[in-house]
Structure 1
Amino acid sequence: MHNGDSDDLARPAAATAAERIEALDALRGFALLGILLANILYWSGWGLMSEAQHLALAGADGATWQYRFHHLLIDGKFYTLFSLLFGAGFALQLARIEGRGGNGLAIYRRRVLVLLGIGLIHSCLIWDGDILTLYALLGLILPLFIRWSDARLAITALILIFAVPFAGVALFDALGWAPHTALYNLGDSVALALGTRLTEDNGVAVLASGRWDQLAAWIISGPIYAWGIKLESWRIPKVLGIMLLGLIVGRWFAGGRLPGDRTLLRRTLLAGLLLGLPPTLAYAFMPKQDQADWSSLLGTVPMALAYGAAFLLAWPHARRVQQLFVAPGRMALTNYLSQTLIGIVLFYGVGFGLVGQVKPLGIYAIALGIFAVQIVFSRWWLARHAMGPMERLWRNLTYGRRPQ
C-alpha cells in the first residue's frame, strides 16, 4: 500500500509480518483491558452515583483517589487507542486483500455493515455504552481517505481532534444551543413512558431493583442518552480524527516501519507526554471535569499516543509479559461483548446484584479478575480454533458462507 510521506525516511530493518501482527494484537489487548477498567464503573453503579453516594460508599479519601486515578490514567485514553487500532486494522486489511487481488473495499464495507449490526444489537438490547456502532458508522466513510498522503491525513486528524471540538463548544455557547440536552430530555421522556422515572441519583436503584420492566426502560432509553454524551463530548469528530491517524499507523505496520522504528516511538512518547500530561494533570486534580472540558480535549489523545508508543517500545524487552495480551487482542470482539454480559450478570439486580455495593478498589480488582479469566479462555480457545467465536460469526456473515 502507498506509504505516503514516510517512504524516504530512514528506518531499521523491518520486523516479520507475524511479529508485526503479534505486536498489534498485544496492543489491542492492552486497550481492551483499559476499556474494561473504564466501563466497569458503570455496570458497578459507581459511574451513576451522585457525589453524596460516592462519599457514603467509599468515604472522602476513596472517592478522591478514584476520581484522580480514573481521570489521570484511564478516562478516554483506551477508547482512543481502540479507535486508532480500528483505523490501523482497516489499512492492514486492505493491504492483505489487495495483495491477493481481491476487491478490498467491497469486502471491507460488508465487514463494517456486519459490525454495525452487531453494534446496534449490543447498544439497543444490552448496553448503551457500546462503541461498535460509532466505529462502524465512521468506518463506512474511511474509504474516502484511503488515497490521502500521511501528511494530509495527519493535518485533517489534528483539525478534527482539536480544532473542531473547541470551535464547536464556542459556537454552541455563543448561540445558546445544547443539542445534547434535548437528547437527555428525550431519554427521560422515553423512560417515563415505559414506567420508570430516571433522576440524577436513582440509576443504581433502578439497576438494583431486579425488575425486568425497569431494566427494559433503562436499556431502551439508554442509546438516546449515549448519543447525547457523544454530542456533548464531541466524540464523533474526535474518533474520526483518531481513525485517520490509525490509517497512518496501519500503513507503517504494513510497510514494516512499526513496531521497529524506535526513534519514531521515542519521539511519539516524548511529544505525547509533553503535550498531554499537563492538561491531563489538570483534568485529574481539578474537580468535576468531564470529556467536554478543555483539559480532556487537549490531553486525552496525546496521552493515548504516548501509551501506545510506550507499549511498543517495551515490546522487545518485555515481550514475554506483553504476550499475555495477544490472545485477548486476537479475540477483541468476543471479549469486548462478553465483558458487557459478565458485568451485567455480576452487578445488575437481575444477576448477582452487586451494583452500588462495591468500593472502587474492589471494582478494579473485579475488572482485573475478569480480564485474567479472558486471557486464560482466549488462549485455550485459540489453541483449538483459528479465531474467536464472534470473530468467526463476523467473518461468516461478511462472506455469506463459511470461508475456506
Structure 2
Amino acid sequence: MATMQGSPLAREERLDVVDALRGFALFGILLANILYWSGWGMVTDEQRIAWGGASGDLWQYRFHHLFVDGKFYTIFSFLFGAGFALQLERLLRRGQDGLRIYRRRALVLLAIGVVHNFLIWDGDILLLYALLGLLLPLFHRWSSRALVWTGLVLVFVVPFAGIALFDALGWKPQDVFYSLSNDIAQAQGVNTAPEQILAWMQREDWRGWFAWISSGPAYSLGLRLETWRIPKVLGIMLIGMAAGRGLTDGSLLANRALLQRVAIGGLLIGVPASLAYAFRPGQGQADWPALIGTMPLGMAYAAAFALAWPWASRWLGVFSAPGRMALTNYLTQSVLGVVLFYGVGFGLVGRLPIWGFYGYAVLLFVAQVVFSRWWLARHEQGPMEALWRRWTYGKQPA
C-alpha cells in the first residue's frame, strides 16, 4: 500500500479526558445495545411482562428512557466531531494534507462499517458516522458560532419541522424501508409477526440467521429515518467541531464557567423532558420528550465528566484505556453479542432475566477495561485502531 503524505498523530497529543469520556460513552452504548442482543428490546409488551414481570418491565423502561436512551450516542457523536477538528487542525498546523488524510480515514471507517452492518449487526453506528463524517470537511472553514447554531437547528428544528411536514403529507418515509425489510425476510420463509421475533432470533439454522442479517439494514435505515437520527447526529458533530477547536488550543477544558453552563443548562432542559420520556408510556425517540431532552442531557453528562476530571481522574480514568481502543471494543461487543445471544451461537436470547443481561454488560465492560490496559501496556493502539491507521497511512503499525 502506498504511503500517504504525513504520519499518524503521536500519543502525546491525545487528551486523557477525551479518551476517558469516549470510554464512558462506549459503556453507555453497550447498556443500550444489550437490550437488542438479549432480545428484550425486540419483543412485544406482553412478552416483556411475561419475561420480567410487570414491575421489572416498568423500572427497566424508566431507567432506560431516563438515563440511557440516546444520551451516549450524543456523546459519541460530539466526540467524533471534536476529533475531526483536533485531527485536522494539528495536521494542517504541521503542514500536512489534513483533508486528504481525513477523507481516507473516513473511507476506511466506512468500509469497516459496511462489513459490521451487513455481516455482523445491523445496529451499527460506524456506517452512519463515516458517511456523515465525509460531510464535515464542508464545514471546516465555518466559524465556531456558525457551527453551533447550525448544529442546534439540525438537532431541534429539523426533526419537528420534518415530522410536521410528513404528517401534513400523510407519508412516513420509514415505512418504505420497514416494508422492504419485511419483504426480504418473508421471501426467505420467516414469520415476521412481532410476537414471533424472539423465536426468529432463537433459530439455530443459518438460513434464519441470513434472513435476519439480510433484512436488518433496511429496517435499521427505516429506524434512523423515523427517529431523525441522521440530522441530529450531524448537528451534534458540528457542535463537536466547534468544541474541538477549544480542545486544540486548550481553552475549552480551562473554561469551567462554560462547562458549568452546559452542565446546568443541559440538566434544566434534559431532566424534565427525560422524565416525561420515562414516565409517559409508549414514548419513542421521535416523540417530543426525546427530541427535546436527549441531546441536552447527553451534553450535561459530558460537561459534568469534564468538570469532575481534575479531582476525580483517578476513578474516571478507568474509562481511558477502553476509550483509546473504542473501535476494537465496540466491534468486540457486537461479535460477542451475536455469538452469545443469537440462536446460531449459544442461544441466550430471551433466556436471561433483566439483571442477567445488564449484569453481563457490566462484566463485559470490566473485562474490556482489563484487556485494554493489558494491551496498551504492550502496544500503542488497539488492534483495530492499528489496522485503521495502517489502511489510512499505508504504514505498518508498531
- Smaller-chain TM-score bracket: over 0.9
Q: Which runs of 5+ in 1 are unaligned?
A: 1-16
The correspondence of residues 259-278 of structure 1 with structure 2, limited to 5 A, is 259-278=253-272
Question: Quick check: 1:20–1:259 contact (8 Å CA) kept in 2?
Answer: no
Distance 2:397 2:20 in 1: 26
Q: Deviations over 1:170-207 (max 9, x none)?
A: 00001001110111011000111122221212221111
Distance 2:187 2:297 in 1: 42
**Alignment partner, residue 305 of structure 1:** 299
Distance 1:197 1:62 in 2: 28
Instruction: For 2:108, give the aligned amino acid.
Output: V
The correspondence of residues 75-114 of structure 1 with structure 2, limited to 5 A, is 75-114=69-108
SS at structure 2 position matched to 1:25: helix
Q: Deviations over 1:79-99 (max 9, x none)?
A: 110000000010111122112
Q: Which moved more, 1:367-376 or 1:97-106?
A: 97-106
Distance 1:257 1:30 in 2: 22
Distance 2:253 2:197 in 1: 44
The correspondence of residues 49-88 of structure 1 with structure 2, limited to 5 A, is 49-88=43-82
Distance 1:202 1:83 in 2: 34
Distance 2:14 2:260 in 1: 18
Question: Quick check: 2:386–2:397 contact (8 Å CA) kept in 1?
Answer: no
Q: Percent identity?
A: 60
Instruction: For 1:307, give the aligned amino acid.
Output: Y
Q: How far did 1:20 drift?
A: 6.5
**Alignment partner, residue 245 of structure 1:** 239
Q: How far did 1:403 drift?
A: 6.0
Distance 2:13 2:277 in 1: 36
Q: How far did 1:331 drift?
A: 0.3
Distance 2:208 2:309 in 1: 47
Q: How far did 1:364 drift?
A: 1.0
**Alignment partner, residue 6 of structure 2:** none
**Alignment partner, residue 295 of structure 1:** 289
2:376 alignment partner, one of 357, 382, 398: 382
Q: Which runs of 5+ in 2 are unaligned?
A: 1-10
Q: Deviations over 1:339-360 (max 9, x none)?
A: 0011112211122211011122
Inter-CA distance 19–104: structure 2 relative to 1 (3 Å threshold)? closer
Q: How far did 1:117 drift?
A: 0.3
**Alignment partner, residue 319 of structure 2:** 325
Q: Which moved more, 1:101-110 or 1:352-361?
A: 352-361
Give me the CA root mean square deviation: 1.2
SS at structure 2 position matched to 1:102: coil
Distance 1:195 1:334 in 2: 35
Question: Quick check: 1:262–1:313 contact (8 Å CA) kept in 2?
Answer: yes
SS at structure 1 position matched to 2:204: coil
Instruction: For 1:36, give the aligned amino acid.
Output: L
**Alignment partner, residue 280 of structure 1:** 274
Q: Deviations over 1:230-287 (max 9, x none)?
A: 0000110000000001101111111101323211111110100111111111000000
Question: Quick check: 1:107–1:398 contact (8 Å CA) kept in 2?
Answer: yes
Instruction: For 2:121, give the aligned amino acid.
Output: W
Instruction: For 2:201, give the aligned amino acid.
Output: L
Question: Quick check: 1:253–1:259 contact (8 Å CA) kept in 2?
Answer: yes
Q: What's the TM-score, normalizing by structure 2?
A: 0.96
Q: What's the TM-score, normalizing by structure 1?
A: 0.94
The correspondence of residues 22-41 of structure 1 with structure 2, limited to 5 A, is 22-41=16-35
Instruction: For 2:384, give the aligned amino acid.
Output: M
Instruction: For 1:295, give the aligned amino acid.
Output: P
**Alignment partner, residue 171 of structure 1:** 165
Q: How far did 1:375 drift?
A: 0.2
Instruction: For 1:327, give the aligned amino acid.
Output: A
**Alignment partner, residue 204 of structure 2:** 210
**Alignment partner, residue 45 of structure 1:** 39
